[in-house]
Amino acid sequence: MAHPKIEKLYKQIPSFECKPGCADCCGIVPWARSEWDSLPEKKEAISTDCPYIGKDDNCSIYEQRPYMCRLFGNCNDPMLRCPHGCGPEKPLSWQKAQKLTNKYHGLIDK
């Protein structure tokens, strides 16, 4: 598990179903220390693709994916919108997402 304060941030992010077998937004993502430390297997990126993209293009560590992967697609910010139009019924406002992300940055060493 990530640091409890990071887990609390996760709970404030809505969820939605992705297009099956899609990893189009998966690249190099930031990790807080506790997110990284809680992974059973550490993989180094050998390209700009995330090393945790599974064989079927699904996330192989979905339950342990870091904050940024959870936020993507869940916010009104055009930079964070899913290119396939997937997203929750009620996405976070840009302001709310910014607030959560600022808190996350403050916890990056936790």
Residue 82 binds ligand SF4 (CB under 6 A): yes
Residue 69 binds ligand SF4 (CB under 6 A): yes
CB 100, CB 9: distance < 8 Å: yes
Least distance in Å: CB of 52 to ligand SF4? Answer: 4
- Most distant CA atoms of the chain, gap in Å: 36
DSSP string, 9-70: HHHTS---PPPTT--TT-S-----HHHHHT-SS----SSSS-TTB-TTSSBTTGGG--HHHH
Least distance in Å: CB of 17 to ligand SF4? Answer: 8
Residue 53 binds ligand SF4 (CB under 6 A): yes
Among 10, 12, 29, 77, binds ligand SF4 (CB under 6 A): 29
**Residues at the contact surface with ligand SF4, assessed by CB under 6 A:** 18-19, 22-26, 29, 50, 52-53, 59, 61, 65, 69, 72-73, 82-84, 86
